[in-house]
Chains A and B, each alone.
Chain A
Amino acid sequence: MSKGFTPSPATPAVITANDLRMGHCVWMRDGGWTADPREAELFEDEAIAELALLDAIAQANVVVGPYLAEARRGPDGRPEPTHFREAFRRRGPSNYFHGKQAEFAQSEVEASNV
Chain B
Amino acid sequence: MFDARPQHNEYLRHRAQQFRQQVERRLDGSLTEDEFRPLRLMNGVYLQLHAYMLRVAIPYGTISPDQMRTLALLAEKWDKGYGHWTTRQNIQYNWPKLVDIPDMLDALADVGLHAIQTSGNTIRNVTTDAFAGAAADEVADPRPYAELLRQWSTDHAEFQFLPRKFKIAVSGGKKDRAVIAAHDIGLRLVSNDRGELGYQVWIGGGLGRTPLLGKVVREYLPEADLLPYIEAIIAAYNLSGRRDNKYKARIKITVAERGLDVMREEIEAEFQRRRQAFTGADQDLLAALKSLYAPPAFRNEPEGDYEERRAANPAFRSWTDTNLSAHKQEGYASVTVTFKAPGQTPGDASAEQMRLLADLAERFGHHDLRISHEQNVVLPHVHKSDLFAVYQELKAAGLATANAGLISDIVACPGMDYCTLATARSIPIAQDIAAHFRARGLEEEIGKFNIRISGCINACGHHHLGHIGILGLDRAGVENYQITLGGDGYDIPAIGQRAGAGFPAEEVVPAIDRLIDAYLELRESPEERFIDAYRRLGVAPFKAALYPADA
Q: Which residues of A contact B (CB under 8 A)?
A: 18, 20-25, 60-61, 64-65, 82-85, 88-89, 92-96, 98-100
With A21-B98, A94-B425, A95-B345: A61-B49 Cβ-Cβ less than 8 Å = no
Which of B32, B99, B428 has a CB less than 8 Å from the CB of A94? B428
In Å, the complex CA distance between A92 and B428 comes to 13
> What is the minimal beta-carbon distance from B472 to any residue of chain A, in angstroms?
11
Give the 5 A-B CB pairs with smallest separation, nearest first: A93-B417, A23-B51, A23-B52, A95-B345, A95-B427
In Å, the complex CA distance between A11 and B64 comes to 54
B95 contacts chain A at the CB level, 8 A cutoff: yes
Q: Are B98 and A23 in contact (CB under 8 A)?
A: yes
> What is the minimal beta-carbon distance from A10 to any residue of chain B, in angstroms?
16
In Å, the complex CA distance between A22 and B97 comes to 5
Q: Which residues of B contact A (CB under 8 A)?
A: 26-29, 32-33, 47-52, 80, 94-99, 345, 348, 416-418, 425, 427-428, 431, 474, 477-479
Chain B hits for A100, CB < 8 A: 50
> What is the minimal beta-carbon distance from B42 to any residue of chain A, in angstroms?
17
Which of B27, B32, B95 has a CB less than 8 Å from the CB of A98? B95
Which of B33, B94, B477 has a CB less than 8 Å from the CB of A60? B33
In Å, the complex CA distance between A83 and B49 comes to 14
Q: Which of B48, B51, B94: most chain A CB closer than 10 A?
A: B51
Which of A23, A88, A96 has a CB less than 8 Å from the CB of B416? A88
Q: What residue in chain A is nearest B82 (Cβ atoms)?
A: A96
Q: Which of A23, A88, A99, A100: most chain B CB closer than 10 A?
A: A23
Chain A hits for B99, CB < 8 A: 21-22
> What is the minimal beta-carbon distance from B342 to any residue of chain A, in angstroms?
13
In Å, the complex CA distance between A24 and B50 comes to 5
Q: Are B32 and A60 in contact (CB under 8 A)?
A: yes
Q: Are B50 and A89 in contact (CB under 8 A)?
A: yes
Chain A hits for B417, CB < 8 A: 88, 93-95
Chain A hits for B29, CB < 8 A: 60-61
Which of A20, A25, A61, A82 has a CB less than 8 Å from the CB of B50? A25
In Å, the complex CA distance between A61 and B99 comes to 13
Q: Are A89 and B49 in contact (CB under 8 A)?
A: yes
> What is the minimal beta-carbon distance from A100 to any residue of chain B, in angstroms?
8
Chain B hits for A20, CB < 8 A: 26-27, 98
> What is the minimal beta-carbon distance from A63 to any residue of chain B, in angstroms?
9
In Å, the complex CA distance between A99 and B79 comes to 12
In Å, the complex CA distance between A24 and B478 comes to 24
Q: Are A24 and B51 in contact (CB under 8 A)?
A: yes
In Å, the complex CA distance between A103 and B98 comes to 19
Chain A hits for B425, CB < 8 A: 88, 94
In Å, the complex CA distance between A95 and B48 comes to 16
Q: Are B98 and A22 in contact (CB under 8 A)?
A: yes
In Å, the complex CA distance between A96 and B348 comes to 11
Q: Are A94 and B98 in contact (CB under 8 A)?
A: no
In Å, the complex CA distance between A84 and B32 comes to 30
With A65-B33, A88-B49, A93-B50: A21-B97 Cβ-Cβ less than 8 Å = yes
With A21-B97, A93-B50: A98-B33 Cβ-Cβ less than 8 Å = no
Which of A22, A82, A93, A94 has a CB less than 8 Å from the CB of B477? A82
In Å, the complex CA distance between A22 and B78 comes to 12
Which of B27, B50, B477 has a CB less than 8 Å from the CB of A83? B477
Q: Are B50 and A92 in contact (CB under 8 A)?
A: yes
Q: What residue in chain B is nearest A63 (Cβ atoms)?
A: B33
In Å, the complex CA distance between A22 and B51 comes to 7
Other A-B contacts than A21-B99, A24-B51, A64-B47, 6 sampled, CB-CB below 8 A, are A25-B50, A82-B477, A88-B425, A93-B50, A93-B94, A95-B428
With A60-B32, A88-B416: A23-B47 Cβ-Cβ less than 8 Å = yes
Chain B hits for A65, CB < 8 A: 33, 47
> What is the minimal beta-carbon distance from A99 to any residue of chain B, in angstroms?
5
In Å, the complex CA distance between A21 and B47 comes to 11
In Å, the complex CA distance between A61 and B479 comes to 34
Chain B hits for A89, CB < 8 A: 49-50
In Å, the complex CA distance between A89 and B345 comes to 19
29 A-B residue pairs with Cβ-Cβ distance under 8 Å, sorted by A, are: A18-B47, A20-B26, A20-B27, A21-B97, A21-B98, A22-B51, A22-B97, A23-B97, A24-B51, A25-B49, A25-B50, A60-B29, A60-B33, A61-B27, A61-B28, A64-B47, A84-B416, A84-B479, A85-B416, A89-B49, A93-B50, A93-B94, A93-B418, A94-B425, A94-B427, A94-B428, A95-B348, A98-B50, A98-B80
Chain B hits for A18, CB < 8 A: 47, 51
In Å, the complex CA distance between A102 and B505 comes to 25
In Å, the complex CA distance between A64 and B50 comes to 12
In Å, the complex CA distance between A23 and B425 comes to 20
Q: What residue in chain B is nearest A25 (Cβ atoms)?
A: B50
Chain B hits for A95, CB < 8 A: 345, 348, 417, 427-428, 431
In Å, the complex CA distance between A111 and B478 comes to 35
In Å, the complex CA distance between A82 and B417 comes to 17
Chain B hits for A93, CB < 8 A: 50, 94, 417-418, 427
> What is the minimal beta-carbon distance from B508 to any residue of chain A, in angstroms?
15
> What is the minimal beta-carbon distance from A86 to any residue of chain B, in angstroms?
10
Q: Are B50 and A99 in contact (CB under 8 A)?
A: yes
Chain B hits for A99, CB < 8 A: 50-51
In Å, the complex CA distance between A24 and B48 comes to 9
Chain B hits for A22, CB < 8 A: 51, 97-99
In Å, the complex CA distance between A26 and B545 comes to 45
Chain A hits for B418, CB < 8 A: 93
In Å, the complex CA distance between A82 and B474 comes to 13
Q: What residue in chain A is nearest B50 (Cβ atoms)?
A: A99
Q: What residue in chain A is nearest B32 (Cβ atoms)?
A: A60
Q: What residue in chain B is nearest A83 (Cβ atoms)?
A: B477
> What is the minimal beta-carbon distance from A1 to any residue of chain B, in angstroms?
9
> What is the minimal beta-carbon distance from B500 to any residue of chain A, in angstroms?
23
